[in-house]
Chains A and B, each alone.
Chain A
Amino acid sequence: MKILTTVKKVVDVELNIRVKDGAIQEEGLQYVINAWDETAVEAAVQLKENSGAETSLVSIGGADNTDIIRRCYAMGIEQGMHIQDPAIEKPDSFTYASILQKVYEKGDYDLVITGKQAQDTDNGQTGIILAEYLGLPCVSNVIDMEVLDETHVKVSRLGDGGTEVLELELPAVVTVDVSMNEPRLPAMRGIMMAKKKKIETMDLAGLGASPEEVGAGAPKSEVLAFQETEKRQGGQKYEGDPAEVTAKVVGLLASEAKVL
Chain B
Amino acid sequence: MTKVLVIADIKDGALKGSTAELVSKAGEIGAETAVAAIGSGVASLTGDLVQAGSSTQYIADDPGLELFSAGPYAACVVDAARQFGADMIWFGFSESGKTLAPRVAARLDAACVSEIIDVKLKGDQVEVTRPAIANKVLQQVKINTGSLVAVVRAGAFEAGEDVSGTENVVQLSPPETDARAVIQEIISDAEGEIDLTDANIVISVGRGVKDQDGVNLVKELAHDLQAGLGASRAMVDGGFMPHNTQVGQTGKIVAPSLYMAVGISGAIQHLAGMSGSKYILAVNKDPEAPIFNVADYGIVGDLFEVVPILREEIKKVRNQ
Contact: A141 with B95, CB < 8 Å? yes
- Is A169 part of the binding interface, using a Cβ–Cβ cutoff of 8 Å? yes
Please determine whether A235 and B295 come into contact, CB atoms closer than 8 angstroms.
Answer: yes
Report which of A14, A232, A250 forms a contact with B268, defined as CB distance below 8 A.
A14
- Asked whether A128 lies within 8 Å of B99 as measured between CB atoms, the reply is yes
B11 CB contacts on chain A under 8 angstroms = 160-161
Q: Which residues of A contact B101 (CB under 8 A)?
A: 125
- Tell me if B212 counts as interface (CB < 8 A to partner A): no
B residues within 8 A CB of A11? 133
Contact of A228 among B95, B136, B249 (CB under 8 A): B136
* Chain A 139-193 interface residues, beta-carbon cutoff 8 Å to B: 139-141, 143, 154, 157-169, 172, 177-179
Tell whether, in the assembled complex, residue A163 and residue B183 are in contact, meaning their CB atoms are under 8 Å apart.
no
Most A C-beta atoms less than 10 A away, residue of B137, B138, B318: B137
Interface residues of B in 264-311 (CB under 8 A from A): 268-269, 275, 278-281, 287, 292-302, 305-306, 309-310
B141 near A222 with CB under 8 A, answer yes
Residues A169 and B180 in contact, CB atoms below 8 Å apart: yes
With an 8 A cutoff between CB atoms, is B157 at the interface?
Answer: no
Bound-state Cα–Cα, A82 to B243, Å: 34
B300 adjacent to A238 (CB under 8 Å): yes
Establish whether residues B181 and A172, one from each chain, have CB atoms under 8 Å apart when the complex forms.
yes
Q: How far is the CA of A100 from the CA of B302 in the complex (A)?
A: 51
Q: Known contacts being A163-B187, A163-B243, is A236 close to B281, with CB within 8 Å?
A: no
Write out the residue numbers on chain B whose beta carbons fall within 8 Å of the beta carbon of A236.
296-298
Inter-chain CA distance A119–B233, complex, in Å, is: 16
CB distance from A171 to the nearest CB of B (A): 9
Q: Is the CB–CB distance between B299 and A160 below 8 Å?
A: no
* Any B CB within 8 A of the CB of A218: yes
**Residue A253 at the chain B interface, CB threshold 8 Å:** yes
The distance in angstroms between the C-alpha atoms of A235 and B268, with both chains bound, is 18
Find out whether the CB atom of A237 lies under 8 angstroms from the CB atom of B180: no
Q: In whole angstroms, what is the CA distance A10 to B236 when docked?
A: 25
Contacts known (A128-B99, A143-B243, A234-B292); A161 close to B68, Cβ less than 8 A: yes
Chain A residues in 8 Å Cβ range of B142: 221-224
Tell me the smallest distance from the CB of A246 to a CB of chain B, in Å. Answer: 4
- Most chain-B CB neighbours within 10 Å: which of A132, A161, A167, A232? A161
B94 within 8 A of A: yes
With CB as the reference atom, state the residue of chain A lying closest to B267.
A14
Say whether B301 contacts A242, CB under 8 Å.
Answer: yes
In the complex, chain B residues 160-188 whose Cβ is within 8 Å of any chain A Cβ: 178-188
Contact A137 B250 (CB under 8 A): no
List CB contacts (< 8 Å) of A207-260 with chain B.
Answer: 218-229, 231-232, 234-239, 242-243, 245-247, 249-254, 257, 259-260
Q: Give Cα A111 to B139, complex, Å.
A: 33
- Check: A7 CB closer than 8 A to any chain B CB: no
Does A133 make an interface contact (CB < 8 A)? yes
Known interface pairs A132-B106, A172-B181; A163-B313 also in contact (CB < 8 Å) = no
Does chain B have a CB within 8 A of A13? yes
**Among A22, A122, A128, contact of B115 (Cβ-Cβ < 8 Å):** A122
Across the interface, name the chain A residue whose C-beta is closest to B94: A160
Give Cα A178–Cα B257 distance, bound, in whole angstroms.
Answer: 29
B140 partner residues in chain A, CB cutoff 8 A = 22, 223-227
- A-B contacts counted at CB < 8 A amount to 269
B96 at the interface (CB under 8 A from A): yes
On chain B, the residues within 8 Å of A159 by CB distance are: 68, 95-96, 186
Q: In the bound complex, do residue B250 and residue A177 qualify as a contact, i.e. CB atoms below 8 Å apart?
A: yes
Our pick among A120, A162, A164, A246 for the contact of B133 (Cβ within 8 Å) is A120
Are A17 and B136 in contact, CB atoms less than 8 angstroms apart? yes
- In the complex, the answer to whether B68 meets A179 with C-beta atoms within 8 Å is no
A140 to B100, CA, bound (A): 10
Min Cβ gap A154→B in Å is 8
- Interface check A138, CB cutoff 8 A: yes
Q: Which of A117, A122, A246, A247 contacts B131 (CB 8 A)?
A: A122
CB within 8 Å of A: which of B1-18? 11-12
A167 to chain B, nearest CB (A): 5
Alpha-carbon separation in the docked complex, A218 to B142 (Å): 12
- A to B CB contacts below 8 Å, 30 in the list: A11-B133, A14-B268, A22-B140, A119-B134, A122-B133, A125-B102, A132-B102, A137-B180, A141-B99, A157-B95, A161-B189, A164-B186, A165-B183, A165-B184, A172-B180, A172-B181, A179-B237, A223-B141, A226-B139, A229-B131, A231-B294, A232-B294, A234-B292, A234-B296, A236-B298, A237-B295, A246-B299, A253-B258, A253-B314, A257-B258
Taking A119-B133, A138-B181, A236-B298 as known contacts, 9 extra A-B pairs with beta carbons closer than 8 A to each other, sorted by chain A number, are: A13-B136, A117-B250, A122-B134, A132-B102, A220-B110, A220-B111, A221-B143, A226-B138, A238-B299
B residues apposed to A, CB below 8 Å = 11-12, 67-68, 70-71, 94-96, 98-99, 101-103, 105-107, 110-115, 127, 131-145, 148, 178-189, 201, 225, 233, 236-237, 243-244, 246, 249-250, 257-258, 268-269, 275, 278-281, 287, 292-302, 305-306, 309-310, 313-314, 316-318
6 A-B pairs with the lowest CB-CB distances in the bound complex, closest first:
A132-B106, A220-B111, A237-B298, A235-B296, A162-B188, A250-B313
